[in-house]
Amino acid sequence: MTIDRERVVALDKARVWHPYTSMDEYAQGVDPIVVVRAEGPWLHDADGRAYLDANSSWWVASLGHNHPRLVAALARQARDNCHSALAGMTHPPAAELAEALCGVAPRGGPDGGGLEHVFFSDDGSTAVEVALKLSVQYWAQNGRPARTRFAALGEAFHGETIGATALGGVELFRRPFRGVLAECFHLPSPGDPSVSAERALEALERLLAREADTIACVVVEPMVQGAAGMWMHDAAYLRAARALCTRHDVFFVADEVFTGYGRTGPMWACQHAGVAPDLLCTAKGFSGGMLPMAATLATRRIHDGFLGGRERAFYYGHSFCGNPLGAAVALEVLRVYDEERVLERAAPKAARIAEAFAKMASLRGVARTRSLGMIGALDLAGDAGYLAGAGWRVYDEARRRGAYLRPLGNVIYVAPPLNIPDADLERLLAIVAESVAAVAGA
C-alpha cells in the first residue's frame, strides 16, 4: 500500500494534539517521522528512511517492535475473544497471566513473602492510581482512617491521572493542577546529584517518625527515576526505605512501570535490593509494548483487607480491565523472556552501554554520564531542566544519522529493546557519541 506522506502530515498537523509537545512549535517547525512499519529496534518512515528507536517508543518495546511471537499470540487471541469484561466472570488469558506474574514477582516483603494478587488496568498511570486507592481504602477500613496522604521522591514521575500527578515531583508538570492534588510529601531524592544518600534516607526516616499516622504509602521508582532524567540511586536506599516502611507499617509501593521487565538488569529493580514491595505497579514492557495493559500486584494482607462484605469491596475497574488481547500478549511476553533467555542475553549488551557511556564522559559538552542495565544516560553541560534546548539539538543530529533519540531536557539517554541486535546497538551508541560531539563542536 502506498502512503501519501504529505496528506498524513497535513491531517496530523490539523487535528492531532500531541503528548508532551508544544503544539505551536510542532506545527511550525517539525517534520515528523511518519512511522509506517516497526520491526525490532527499527522505525520505518513513509519516506523510506529507517530510525533506531533509542527509547523503545517511550520505554515500552522491551522486546523490540512487532516481535513475531507476540504478533502471533495477538492474532490467536483475536480469533477467540477480543474483549469480555472481568467483573464477576473471567477468561483464560487473565487467569493464566495472574498466576504467571505472581510466580515471577519479587520476594522479600515484610513477612518474607511476595505478591499474591493481581489487579489489572490500562497503563502505568492507572496501575499507580490503583495502588494509591488500594492503600487509602485499606487503611480507611482497617483501623487507620487518618492515613490519607502519600510520600514520593523529589522529581518523581508516576503518570498522568490526578492521583499520579499528586505524586509527581516535576514542578512543570504539577504546576497547573496544584489546586486539585492530593497531599503528598516530596522527599529529597537519593538520585539527585546534589543530595547525599544519607540525607535522603534521614529525610524519609524523619518523615515517617513524624507522619506515619497520616501516610497511606510511600511510592518510589526503584533504582532509576526515569522522567527525572535517568536519576539512579543505590540499592541500599531501597533496602532501608523498605525496612523503614515495615517498621512504621506504612505501605511501600514500587512503581516498576519503567524499571520492570529487566530494564535495569534483573526482572524487577527491587531485586537489586532483595526486597518486595506491598504493592508493585507494572505496565509498558509488561505487554511487550504492544497494547495498553497494566497490573498492580498486591500482598495477601492487602487483598484480605477488602474481604468481609460488600461495603469493603474495591469499587474500581476500567472498561478494558484485564483485556484478553493484552493479557494473551502479556502472557506470551513472560514465555519469551523465559525461552529466549532475554535477561541473560541482555547482560553483555548492558555492559556495552555502560562502557560506551563511560567513554562519552570525556566528550566536550558532557557534564556527567551513568548507566544501569539497558539504560545509558548523559547530562549535557549548561541549562538543565525539562525545557532545556541542547537536548533537542542532539535529537536533530541523531535523526539525521538514523536514530530517534528523544531527550529529557538536557539529558540524552538510550533505553533500547533488551534484545537489540549487537550491530544495531553499536550503531546506536556511535550515533549518540557523534551527535553529542556535533552539537558540542558547533
Closest approach of ligand PLP to the CB of residue 77, in Å: 21
Q: Which residue is nearest to ligand PLP (CB)?
A: 124
Q: Tell me the C-alpha distance between 372 and 436, whole Å.
A: 20
Binding mask 271-300 for ligand PLP (x = CB under 6 A): ------------x-----------------
Does residue 227 bind ligand PLP (CB under 6 A)?
A: yes
Q: Which of 64, 109, 114, 226 binds ligand PLP (CB under 6 A)?
A: 226
Closest approach of ligand PLP to the CB of residue 12, in Å: 21
Q: Tell me the C-alpha distance between 163 and 211, whole Å.
A: 20
**Any idea which residue has 491531517 for its cell?**
11
Does residue 255 bind ligand PLP (CB under 6 A)?
A: yes
Closest approach of ligand PLP to the CB of residue 60, in Å: 8
Q: Is 411 exposed, middle or buried (0-12, 13-18, 19+ CB in 10 A)?
A: buried
| Beta carbon nearer to ligand PLP, 115 or 439 | 115
Per-position DSSP letters for 351-409, written without gaps between them: HHHHHHHHHHTTSTTEEEEEEETTEEEEEESS--STT-SHHHHHHHHHHHHTEE---BT
Closest approach of ligand PLP to the CB of residue 204, in Å: 18
Q: Which of 123, 192, 332, 397 binds ligand PLP (CB under 6 A)?
A: 123
Q: Tell me the C-alpha distance between 178 and 233, whole Å.
A: 28
Q: Tell me the C-alpha distance between 433 and 359, whole Å.
A: 9
The 3-state DSSP class for residue 277 equals coil
Q: Which amino acid is at 112?
A: G
Closest approach of ligand PLP to the CB of residue 302, in Å: 19
Q: Tell me the C-alpha distance between 227 and 412, whole Å.
A: 12
CA 33 to chain centre: 23
Q: Which of residues 133-172 bind ligand PLP (CB under 6 A)?
A: 157-160
Q: Which of residues 10-69 bind ligand PLP (CB under 6 A)?
A: none
Residue 323: phi and psi, rounded to 5, are -40, 125
Element (H, E) at 39: strand 35-39
Closest approach of ligand PLP to the CB of residue 382, in Å: 25
Q: Which of 221, 332, 379, 397 binds ligand PLP (CB under 6 A)?
A: 221
Does residue 258 bind ligand PLP (CB under 6 A)?
A: yes
| Beta carbon nearer to ligand PLP, 257 or 267 | 257
Closest approach of ligand PLP to the CB of residue 125, in Å: 3
**Cβ-proximal residues to 289 (8 Å cutoff; 6+ apart), any chain:** 56, 57, 60, 61, 62, 63, 65
Does residue 128 bind ligand PLP (CB under 6 A)?
A: yes
Taking the CB of residue 434, how many other CB atoms lie within 10 A of it? 16
| Beta carbon nearer to ligand PLP, 154 or 226 | 226
Interacting residues toward ligand PLP by CB under 6 A: 123-125, 128, 157-160, 221, 226-227, 255, 257-258, 283
